[in-house]
Structure 1
Amino acid sequence: MSSITTHAAETRGASRSGVLGHNAAFWSVAFAFLITIAFGTVATPLYELYQLRDGFSTFMITVVFAVYAVGVVATLFFAGHLSDYLGRKRMILIGLLIEILSAVIFIASPALPSIIIGRVVSGIGVGLVSAAFTAFVGELNGRSGASRTRADVVGAAANFGGFAVGALVAGFLAEWVSAPLRTPFIVFGVLMIVGAIAVALSPETANVDGPRPAYRPQRVSLPAEAKPAFWAAASAGFVVFAVNALFNTIAPAFVAGTMGHPSRALAGTVAFIVFGTAALLQIITVKVAIRTLLIAGLTLAIVGLIVVTVGAFVPSLALFLIGGGLAGGGGGLLFKGAVTTVVRVSEPAKRGEALAGLFLSSYVGLIVPVLAVGIAVEYVQPKNALLVLSAVLILVCLAASPKLVGNQK
Structure 2
Amino acid sequence: MHSEDRTRARLFAAVGGVVVLFPAASSVPSPLYPLYQQLFGFSAATLTVVFAVYVLGLLGALLVVGALSDHVGRRPVLAGAIALEAVSFVVFLTAGGVPALLVARFLQGIATGAAITTLGALMVDLAPREAPHRAGMVTGVGTLAGLAAGAVGAGALVQLAPAPTRLVWIVLLVLLALSAVVVAVLPETATRRAGGWASLVPRVGVAPRLRGEVLALTPVLVTSWALGGLYMSLGPSIAAGLLGVQSRLVGGLVVTLLCGTGALTSYLLRGRPVRSLVAPAAALLAGGTAVTLLGMALTSVVVAALGTVIAGIGFGAAALACFGVFAEIAAPEERGELFATFYVISYTAFSVPAVLAGIGTGIVGLATAAEIYGAVVVVLGAAAVAVNVVRARRRRPVLTGSA
- TM-score between both structures, scaled by the size of structure 1: 0.89
* Structure 2 SS opposite 1:27: helix
Q: Does structure 1 retain, via aligned residues, the 8 Å contact 2:136–2:323? A: no
Match of 1:33 among 19, 23, 27: 19
CA distance in structure 2 between the aligned counterparts of 1:60 and 1:310, rounded to whole angstroms: 30
Gaps of 5+ in 1: 1-17
- Residue number in structure 1 paired with 2:245: 261
Per-residue deviation at 1:258? 2.9
Q: Of 321, 336, 341, which aligns to 2:305?
A: 321
The equivalent of 2:398 in structure 1 is none
- 1:43 equivalent in structure 2: 29
Q: 1:313 to 1:55 in 2, by over 3 A?
A: farther
Q: Distance in 2 between matches of 1:101 and 1:407?
A: 46
Query: How does 1:232-247 map onto structure 2 within 5 Å?
Result: 232-247=216-231
Task: Answer yes or no: is 1:60 the counterpart of 2:46.
Answer: yes
Q: Residues 10-409 of structure 1: matches in 2 within 5 Å?
A: 21-142=7-128, 145=129, 147-148=131-132, 150-208=134-192, 210-212=193-195, 214-215=198-199, 216-223=201-208, 226-407=210-391
Runs of 4+ in 1 over 4 A off after TM superposition: 405-409
**Higher relative contact order, structure no. (Cα contacts within 8 Å, ≥ 6 residues apart):** 1
Q: Could you tell me how far apart the structure 2 residues matched to 1:148 and 1:406 are?
A: 28
Query: 1:14 maps to what in 2?
Result: none
Structure 2 counterpart of 1:173, one-letter code: L
- 3-state DSSP of counterpart to 1:366: helix
The change in CA–CA distance for 1:252 and 1:334 in structure 2 (over 3 A counts) is same
Q: Within 1, Cα distance between the matches of 2:331 and 2:303?
A: 43
Q: Please say if residues 88 and 204 of structure 1, whose CA atoms lie closer than 8 Å, have aligned partners that are also in contact.
A: yes
Q: Which structure has the larger Rg over C-alpha atoms?
A: 2
In the alignment, what sits opposite 2:400?
none
1:235–1:362 contact (8 Å) kept in structure 2: no
Would you tell me which structure has more helix in proportion to its own residues? 2
Identity of aligned residues (%): 29
The 8 Å contact of residues 52 and 351 in structure 2, kept in 1 or not, is answered as yes
- Report SS of the residue matched to 2:189: coil
Shift of the alpha carbon at 1:362? 1.0
Residues 335/149 of structure 1: CA separation in 2 closer, same or farther (3 Å cut): closer
Q: Distance in 2 between matches of 1:93 and 1:329?
A: 34
Task: Give the stretch that moved more between structures: 189-198 or 60-69.
Answer: 60-69
Change in Cα spacing, 1:325 to 1:110, as seen in structure 2 (3 Å) is: farther
User: Do 1:218 and 1:357's aligned partners in 2 also have CA atoms closer than 8 Å?
Assistant: no
What is the rounded CA distance, in whole Å, between the counterparts of 2:388 and 2:321 in structure 1?
9
The letter of the residue matching 2:309 is G
Contact 1:377 1:385 in 2 (8 A): yes
Amino acid at match of 2:263: A
Residue 336 of structure 1: CA displacement? 2.1
Residues 283 and 289 (structure 1 numbering): CA distance in 2 closer, same or farther, change over 3 Å?
Answer: same
Distance (Å, rounded) in 2 between the aligned partners of 1:157 and 1:271? 15
User: Structure 1 residues 299 and 402 mapped into 2: Cα distance closer, same or farther (>3 Å)?
Assistant: closer
Q: Report the CA distance between 1:390 and its aligned residue.
A: 1.6
**Structure 2 gap ranges (5+):** 396-403
Q: What CA distance in whole angstroms lies between the structure 2 residues aligned with 1:223 and 1:64? A: 37
Contact residue 228 and residue 403 of structure 1 kept, 8 A: no
Q: Counterpart of 1:367 in structure 2: which amino acid?
A: S
Q: Offset at 1:255?
A: 1.2
CA 1:99–1:405 in 2, change beyond 3 Å: closer, same or farther? farther
What is the CA-CA distance between 1:41 and the residue it aligns to? 0.6
1:146: how far off?
Answer: 5.4
TM-score (norm 2): 0.90
Give, in whole Å, the separation in 1 of the partners of 2:136 and 2:331.
20
CA contact (8 A) 1:291 1:405 kept: no
Q: Is the 8 A contact 2:285 2:312 kept in 1?
A: yes
AA matched with 2:55: A
